[in-house]
Amino acid sequence: MYNKRPIAKNIFHVGVNDRHKNLFENYLPLPQGVAYNSYLIIDEKVALIDTVELSCADVFFAKIDAILKNRAIDYLIVNHIEPDHGGCIGLVKQKYPNIQIVGNAKTFDMLKGYFGIDTQLFEVKEGDSLVLGERSLTFYMAPMVHWPEVMVAYEGNDKILFSADAFGTFGTNNGDYLDVHLNTDKYWDEMRRYYACIVGKFGVPTQNALKKLSTLDIKTICSTHGPVWQQELSKVVGLYNKWSRYEPEEEGVVIAYGSMYGHTRQLTEAVAEGIVAGGVKNVVIHDVSQTDTSFILSDIFKFGALVMGSPTYMGGVYPLIEKLLCAIEHRGIKNRLYACYGSFTWAGAAVKQLTAFAQTMNWEIVGTPVENKQAVFADKYQAAFELGQTMANRIILQTLNNENP
């Protein structure tokens, strides 16, 4: 009835696919759904690592029952208690009343707050191990990747890291959960979007966790979202290393703009033409009224340059541009090349505020901002084109400097 192929001997995936949820955390679009992963280790003792969202409990317990066949679970490892993973903790406790819940002190504070559970707890600290029989799990704290209680568990025999939300991605596991059996092409953009929106603020804690985990010999990563990583493991870790350093993946420019009546959109076309004429091919254009902020953030993490355009709106920037600026600032994205432009009818303010934003972020401002009054005539179109060329020249120079330090 269910895929019972183990990840390793007596280690099973018992996660579920959620193809019905439209919004993750009730605001992030899920065009490809999401997977909630949980893992079962059968030894002298049985350990369940994390659970799934409450709405998926029926499939979750059916998978566990199909494998355990009425055997009890001895330990529930809570690497991350956020409700999309901890949602079934209360039901697990009801079904297995003698179970011990394994976590750290911060986990237990949240456990009591969410479920009122404060007994049969097994506290672990940095480097502690839990012996299950032939196998044991060693625990490492990973606070703020992306909640304060997060920890990971390492199984040394098969060199498996149970990584909580780290290395996770949006998107369901279609037909299997192991990356070696999947076409993983669909995951890379969704992994970046997941990182940018969920983990992106916490670059320093992520770097700290990566440095700690680099001492381990890891052959498999079992995250709580997306595939189990084996074949693509080095790529996944490498991407997390780049993103948490705020390093772009490749040369290119994101243009994000808002436009009420088309004038800022006209300037956008001119800027894009100038960038390509200057020799940079990767130009991604987002109309903030058409594209959800999460997808724009993902591209800002991917590319090293950002150009923003906005009309003046009520003495400030366009509301959806303001939303994007807030999201960027909240995540503390570093080291971007930046240019801006805008339009107005009677009093210009957007360009001034867009420029001040870059100064707040300590980004390098490229070229002279272009500000257009009312209709776009040839001189302003040319100025926007030249702004794009200037950005392209700066990108190419930066690329050369990086290649020949």
Provide the pLDDT for residue 36: 98
Mean pLDDT across the stretch 237-260? 97
Return the bridge partners of 34, or none.
18, 171
List the structure tokens of 194: 């997941």
8-state DSSP, 186: G
- Greatest alpha-carbon pair distance for the chain in Å reads 78
**Cβ–Cβ < 8 Å for 73, 61:** no
Mean pLDDT across the stretch 378-402? 94
pLDDT at 4 > cutoff 80: no
**Cβ–Cβ < 8 Å for 222, 163:** yes
Q: What angle do CA 61, 77, 147 make, to 5 degrees?
A: 110
Provide the pLDDT for residue 400: 84
pLDDT at 137 > cutoff 90: yes
pLDDT tens digits, 191-218: 999 999 999 999 999 999 999 999 999 9
Percent pLDDT > 70 in the chain is: 99
Percent pLDDT > 90 in the chain is: 96
Q: How far apart are CA 391 and CA 253, in angstroms?
A: 9
**Side-chain-facing half-sphere of 165: CA atoms under 13 Å:** 27
8-state DSSP, 174: -
Instruction: pLDDT band for 3, please (50, 70, 90 cuts).
Output: confident
pLDDT tens digits, 327-361: 999 999 999 999 999 999 998 899 999 999 999 99
Instruction: pLDDT band for 404, please (50, 70, 90 cuts).
Output: confident
Measured CA to CA in angstroms, residue 25 lies from 30, 132, 205, 402 at distances of 10, 34, 22, 38
Assign 75 to helix, strand or coil.
strand
**Side-chain-facing half-sphere of 217: CA atoms under 13 Å:** 4
Residues 6+ apart with CB under 8 A from 404: none
Mean pLDDT across the stretch 303-329? 97
The count of residues in the chain is 405
Mean pLDDT across the stretch 258-263? 95
8-state DSSP, 198: I
**Cβ–Cβ < 8 Å for 252, 298:** no
Q: How far apart are CA 343 and CA 212, in angstroms?
A: 49
Return the bridge partners of 317, or none.
312
Q: How far apart are CA 375 and CA 261, in angstroms?
A: 10
Mean pLDDT across the stretch 96-108? 97
List the structure tokens of 16: 């579920």
pLDDT at 294 > cutoff 70: yes
pLDDT tens digits, 7-35: 999 999 999 999 999 999 999 999 999 99
Measured CA to CA in angstroms, residue 234 lies from 133, 231, 366 at distances of 30, 8, 35
Instruction: pLDDT band for 1, please (50, 70, 90 cuts).
Output: low
Preceding peptide of 146 cis, ω within 30°: yes
**Side-chain-facing half-sphere of 362: CA atoms under 13 Å:** 4
**Cβ–Cβ < 8 Å for 135, 43:** yes
Mean pLDDT across the stretch 275-286? 97
